[in-house]
Chains A and B, each alone.
Chain A
Amino acid sequence: DGGITQSPKYLFRKEGQNVTLSCEQNLNHDAMYWYRQDPGQGLRLIYYSQIVNDFQKGDIAEGYSVSREKKESFPLTVTSAQKNPTAFYLCASSPRGVRQTSNQPQHFGDGTRLSIL
């Protein structure tokens, strides 16, 4: 079955530590996205990538970094510079970028819940 796999499901970060959230898709989609959800807020875009080796900052990129070395993979690193990392993180993909595929929905993983120790 095609889909998006996020791991781990739960992650704990110590102060000053960088942690990496994994996102893998086998849908052959060009575009991938990372969102963050906080209580009472909508999904906010952290980073997105429309093609391999290219990515752009979203609305709340500070304290995060990404890479897109392979089409299937879009890992998100939460760095120690992110002062409030506790949140639920969702990865998504679409066949191409948002503009090019506005009439097609995004596909989501099950999410990773990150907490601070």
Chain B
Amino acid sequence: ILNVEQSPQSLHVQEGDSTNFTCSFPSSNFYALHWYRWETAKSPEALFVMTLNGDEKKKGRISATLNTKEGYSYLYIKGSQPEDSATYLCASPNEKLTFGTGTRLTIIP
């Protein structure tokens, strides 16, 4: 994988359901993997920065895992709420921070 790729591109989830999405990144010369949440009309804010293979980080109902050997990270949201509606970006730093295209999550009340 040469670029940072995210899937799916968009996702609609019923309120209360859990969901997850994927970020794939180049596994060679790995430094870190960033996750950001970008709500409409606001600035992107950092959720997690992950550096170690096997890392798992948690922030409330949101958690993320990291596999640096195979070059992927999963973001999980448990019990989705309307305020979780946002675009979730992952990014991999090297000479520069390379962003994926994001997963646009919409929570249906």
Residues of chain A having any CB pair with chain B under 8 Å = 4, 33, 35, 40-45, 48, 58-59, 90, 98-99, 102-111
Contacts and interface: CB of A to CB of B under 8 A. Distances in A.
Contacts of A35: 99
Contact of A105 (B42, B46, B51, B95): B46
Given A42-B102, A98-B95, A103-B32, A108 B43 contact: yes
A106 B32 CA distance: 13
Given A41-B101, A45-B96, 19 more contacts: A4-B43, A35-B99, A43-B89, A44-B99, A58-B96, A98-B97, A99-B31, A99-B93, A99-B95, A103-B51, A104-B49, A106-B34, A106-B46, A106-B97, A108-B44, A108-B45, A109-B43, A110-B42, A110-B43
A102 B31 CA distance: 6
Interface of A is mostly: loop
B89 A99 contact: no
Nearest to B51: A103
Interface residues of B, number: 25
22 contacts: A33-B97, A42-B89, A42-B100, A43-B91, A45-B97, A48-B96, A90-B43, A98-B93, A102-B31, A102-B32, A103-B31, A103-B49, A103-B51, A104-B49, A105-B36, A108-B43, A108-B44, A109-B43, A110-B41, A110-B42, A110-B43, A111-B43
